[in-house]
Amino acid sequence: MSRETNGFYGFNATRLSFETAWTRDNFDALTEILASLPVHWRFFVKHKIFDIIANLPADEHTGSGAAVRQAFDMVQAQYPQLATNGHAV
């Protein structure tokens, strides 16, 4: 995605920041995690992961999916019920 506006249209800084953090690999990791969970957990877990990623320092945004998996590990540690459902990733 081009950061140049060419005098017509450009994404704002918030959108560019979001896309820096949420690369295709990060979304793929998130999709894999959410697909493995019961439906009633997905919305909750997704928002917990988004919050964790949003609060990472900029230099920790690798975009490789690793941070998303680590965030899910943190959510699982906080909510052990996720693992007892037999749907832990």
SS3 state of residue 64: coil
Residue 12 located in a structural domain: no
Show the domain range for 57: 26-84
Residue 64 located in a structural domain: yes
pLDDT value of position 14: 76
Residue 34 located in a structural domain: yes
Residue 76 located in a structural domain: yes
pLDDT value of position 85: 61
Q: Which of 8, 10, 30, 9 is nearest to 21 (CA)?
A: 30
Give the type of residue at 42: R
Express each pLDDT in 9-59 by its tens digit.
677 887 777 777 788 999 999 999 999 999 999 999 999 999 999 898 877
Residue 7 located in a structural domain: no
Q: Which of 49, 55, 45 is nearest to 17 (CA)?
A: 55
pLDDT value of position 57: 84
Residue 45 located in a structural domain: yes
Residue 49 located in a structural domain: yes
